[in-house]
Every structure is written in structure tokens, then in C-alpha cells.
Structure 1
Amino acid sequence: MLYDLNVAWSATQQPQELQRTISFLSELGYDTVALNDNVNVPLPTKIINPIPLEQSFPLPKKTTLLRRCTLHFADPSQNYRLPELARAYDILALRPTTEKAYLAACTALSENSIISLDLAQRFPFHFRPKQVMTAVNRGIFFELCYSPAAVGDSTSRRNVINNVLGLLRASCGRGLIVSSQAKNALGLRAPADVVNLLCVWGMGREKALESLGVNPRAVVVNEGIKRTGFRGVINVIDGGELPKNEIKENEKGVTKGSQGGDKTGKTDKTNKNKRKVEEKESNPDGTPIISKRKAKKMRLEALKANKTTLTTAQEPDSANSLPQSNTSGDTTPNTNG
């Protein structure tokens, strides 16, 4: 899914012009579109969202329409009632105009999910990596708008390129989303053209694709959870524990691993190569299972027993084959001669 979270909206805009813009976005492949309402301080006593929930014209199929508010502020010490403003819209973005407001949006304020800078102007401060990455680690995304560079004058185009290069250098391409900020259909570009433009400006192709799909989706999901979720509850359910015999075996393995010197308590890798003997009581035919060593020993004993029986059987046969001596006791002397 592709997202365009910044389409300009005003109360004086003709419905036909807005319908033409949304239809062209749908033809280009954008599935989720956010109409942006720019709000300046001071805020009214009662905050009302002027963007209607249902438009006077039919929306294209598979097109989701969101309502967004971008607050322009310069002094972070004033109370802008951000929680009340966030409840009235689907997405809340901040557009700081001074360095103090920029630092507060990066480090202190938490009601917004987007920091949308006016890239067509020249800022009196630099985008430092520490401040930018602090905001990114807090789950806040920086918005890059390409319409001022596409349909603006040469000064706006030069400022947009310089500011985009500064943000890319400070963020290394992380925590960025790309929107059009288009006032009509002439300021829109196809996703492939946007990716090529970002690659020319120095962003990688994968990061460019993430800035059109993955990162804007994270913004929409995060803002939806903020407005629909009241409390987070964790329920511990019985029945997920291990059997007692498996717990004992795991404890034995941990103790053996700790005695062997492994800090993590795991057994050595050499133990995996050892022979695993399955514990069974008997074979299917009823004979007991013996190890190979024992079977070899029994076989050698049987051969030895056979040899002894053969030798004992051969001894009497050899005794019978010997010549018999004269034992008659005849002592008659020879009288001849």
C-alpha cells in the first residue's frame, strides 16, 4: 500500500477540484490519502474539525480518506492544547518555524507523530544528527514534500533540495515519510517518479520505498492506537507453563553449562555431537535392548566359549592315537645260545 498523508485542503476549495485530485491519486496507486488542514495559533476556544467525514462526491474504490491537522507554532512555552487538538483529527503534525520550536518538537512534545517542515524556505539553523535521531527514536517521522520542488520556482526548488540533503545527512535515511503537499492534480507524481527523484537527491532505493509505504503506515497505525486504545491490559493465563519433568531437565542443563564455564548456562557445542540413546524398555518382539558395546562383548565371549569346547573335545582323541607300551611283565630269559 502507498500513502500520501499531505493533500492540501481548504474550506474555499471547490469539490470538483478535490475530487479530481483524489481520483488522480487513486489512479497513480495511492491507497490512503490524508486531507491536511493548516492551523495557526491562537486556537479557538472550541476546537472543531472543519473537514467533513463524508465528502459530497463518491470516493474511488479501495481509497481510505483521513483527516490531518498541521499546527504552525513558534513559541514552545505556550499551551497549544495539543491533546484536545489531536482528538479532533486522525493525524497530528507540527510545523515549527523557529529553532526553539524545532528543538521542542524533536525532544519534548509527544502528541504528534510527524514533524513537517516548510522545506521551500531557508532555515536559520542546521539539522543536527543528535536532534533528528532523538525524534526518530521517539517514534516521530520527518516529512519530505516534493510538490514545492515540482511546481515551485527556482528559489523554492533550491531550498527544498538543500533541506532534503540536510535531513538525509542527519538521519541517514531513517524516519522519513514522503508526501506531496499538492494543492491540485498538477503537483502529484507517480510513485516511480518520486523514488527516482529521491534517489537523485541521495536516498537509497529501499529507503525511498519505505518512505512511501512502511513509514506512513506506521504513522497511521500509531495514531489509530492513540485514539482508539484507552488502556493496555496484560492478562496472565494459566496453562502455558512447562511440565515439571521438562523444567527439571532444563535446570540440569543450566547447571551443567554453568559448571562447564559457560556464562549463559548452555551446554557446549561438543555435547551436541554425542550419541543420543533413546530410553526404551524393550523391543517390539519383547527382547531387551542392549548397547552395541555389550553385544560385541557377548559375541566375543561366545566365540571364546566355542574355542574352549573344541579344545576339550580334541584332547581325548589325541590320547587314543598314541602307541601303547609293553606292560605284560614277561621277564622270561632268552635260553637260546
Structure 2
Amino acid sequence: MSCKNWGFCDLSVSRNYDLKYLDLFEKFGFNTIALNSHVEESSDEPKKKKKKGEMKEKKDYIPAPVDIPKEIVASTNLNILQRVTIELSDASSSYKLTNSENLKKYDIIAVVPKTLQAFQFVCNTMDFDIITFEPETRLPYKISRKLYRLAIERGMFFELMYAPAIKDSTSRKNIISTAHTYHAIGKSKNIILTSSAENNLQVRDVHDVINLGFILGLNNNYCLEVIRNNSRKLILKAEGRQRGKFYLNVENEINE
């Protein structure tokens, strides 16, 4: 990542999205998108006994980022980032993350804390960028003001998504409920609004997204900040996580 004009951002587009329709985001007013790879929690398989002299196979349960064809990159002005979203139930899975080489290839790391223990661990210990929840179900536990505030202080953001709310009434109720929870316990601080779009029919214009924010308890001015300023802050925070703490990033610009 580098110092660019990030503009309006959609930081969650499914890796299954047909890349030939990426230009739709540009037409709809977006400057930056993130292709999202969702990783379900891995189950520990029973260890097989190695034969003598057999090399131990090293597996990485985090998949490699989406391979974007060069012609797609050349045909768009979009900033295209890579994001991974990881399900987590307890702290014991964290060692797999620290040993993952593929994880280092992603620009943005998000987590789905499946239990209160995992949520506490994420807020207190792990250096992630986004905390998110599955829209198909209600929040699985009560989020306290203390943990919400701690996550914000550590530079993490909470995600709301609109595509699941459009296609399914249960998801819509759950997302609205989650949004109101964030407002009640944290005044909707450090919120980002993404599409989580799986296809081009689920993508909406920037101005439509701003209007959708009203349903989620965000006024127009703050929704504008959510999809532009907050997203930019998140990107810079993620860049700081990758490079280590820094105050200034200087680049040479050659004018032809």
C-alpha cells in the first residue's frame, strides 16, 4: 500500500465476485475496494503417523490472496486491496495465524469472534484491523462499553454491511440490531460500512449507500465519513501494522 487518493471505499467485496464487473464500482463513485477471502475456523484433524524419512508437510490454512489478472489491473483506476476475514473461537487458534505466510500477503485483516472469550482476546491482544459479525445470526453475546472502547483505542474498526441486508430480511434485522448496539455502547465510533457483495447486482452507488446508512442509525454526514474518512484511517492503520510504527511515509513522485 502507498499514499494514494483512497476516496470512497468498499473494503469488503467477495473473492468470488466476477472481476470483469469491477468497473461497476468505479462507475458508482468508488475509488478503492478490498477483495475479501473468508476463512472458516479450521478443525484440528488427527495427526497421521509419519513414515521414516518422510518430510513433514507444512500446511497454511489461510488461502493465498485473489490472483488478479494484469489486464484487469491495467483496465481500472481502482485501488484494489486484499482482505482476509478469519473466524476465531478462542485464543488457541492464534498460533496458526502467527505461523501463516499467506496472512502476511494481505493488506487488511478482519476477524469474526465467535465467542465472548475470542472477542475479549481480540480486543486485548491481537492486532487486527476489523471486527465483524455474521449477518445471518444476531450478536452471539453482549458487547460491553469497556471492550468496545478498548478496541477503538487500539485502532480497530467495527463493520456493518449492506448487501446481506438487501437480499435477506433476517440479515437485515440482525444488521440493524447490531448497528443500534454499536450506537448505544459506543456512539457508532470507528464504524465502516461495506457491501460484502458477491455479485454485481448487490453493488450500490455511493449516494445510495449514504442513504442506507440512515436505516443503520447513521446520519448523512457521518455516513459520508464512515465510507470515506474512517476507511482511509483503517487503511493507514493496516499499513502501520505491516510496516511497524511510523510517523511519515515519503515517496518520490516523477512528473513526466
Q: TM-score, normalised by structure 2?
A: 0.79
Q: Quick one: which amino acid aligns to residue 59 of structure 2?
A: T
Answer whether contact 2:65 2:106 (CA < 8 A) is retained: no
The answer to whether the 8 Å contact 1:119/1:164 transfers is: no
Give yes or no for the alignment of 1:138 onto 2:144.
no
Counterparts of 1:231 and 1:61 in 2: how far apart (Å)? 31
Conserved 8 A contact 1:147-1:180? yes
Assess if the C-alpha contact under 8 Å between 1:7 and 1:36 holds in 2. yes
Distance 1:48 1:146, change over 3 A: closer
Q: Which residue of 1 aligns with 2:96?
A: 81
- In proportion to residue count, which structure has more helix? 1
Return 5+ residue gaps in structure 1 as ranges: 235-337
Q: Aligned partners of 1:130, 1:60: CA distance in 2, in Å?
A: 46
Q: Is this contact kept in 1: 2:110–2:130, CA < 8 A?
A: yes
**Which segments of 5 or more consecutive residues in structure 2 lack a partner in the other structure?**
1-6, 44-57, 249-256
Partner residue of 1:210 out of 221, 225, 243: 225
What's the CA shift string for 1:5-61, capped at 9, x where partnerless?
100013xx6xxx3221x1111101111111001112339724551411545535544
Q: Specify the alignment match of 1:149 in structure 2.
A: 165
- % of aligned pairs identical? 28
Alignment partner, residue 121 of structure 2: 104
3-state DSSP of counterpart to 1:81: helix
Which residue does 1:93 correspond to in 2?
A: 110
Q: 1:113-154 CA distances to partner (integer Å, 9 max, x unpaired)?
A: 1112113311231232221111011100001111110122x2
Q: Distance in 2 between matches of 1:103 and 1:86?
A: 22
Q: Deviations over 1:284-311 (max 9, x none)?
A: xxxxxxxxxxxxxxxxxxxxxxxxxxxx
Tell me the alpha carbon deviations over residues 91-113 of structure 1, each in whole angstroms, 9 at most, x when there is no partner. Answer: 11111112211222222212x11
Local SS of the residue matching 1:182: coil
2:238 partner SS: helix
**Is residue 210 of structure 2 the alignment partner of residue 195 of structure 1?**
yes
Aligned partner of 2:193 among 169, 178, 183: 178
Question: Which runs of structure 2 are paired with 1:264-279 in the superposition (5 Å)?
Answer: none
8 Å CA contact 1:48–1:88 kept in 2: the answer is no
Q: Would you say 1:8 and 2:14 are equivalent positions?
A: yes
Change (3 A) 1:225 1:123: closer
Distance 1:233-1:183 versus aligned 2 partners, 3 A rule: closer
User: After superposition, what is the alpha-carbon deviation per residue over 1:56-107, rounded to whole angstroms, capped at 9, x for unaligned?
Assistant: 5355442111111111111223334334454121111111112211222222
2:20 counterpart letter in structure 1: Q
Partner of 1:23: 23
Contact 1:173/1:207, CA 8 A, preserved across alignment:
no
Higher RCO, Cα 8 Å, sep 6+: 2
Amino acid at match of 1:117: F
Whose Rg is larger? 1
Structure 2 counterpart of 1:160, from 175, 184, 188: 175
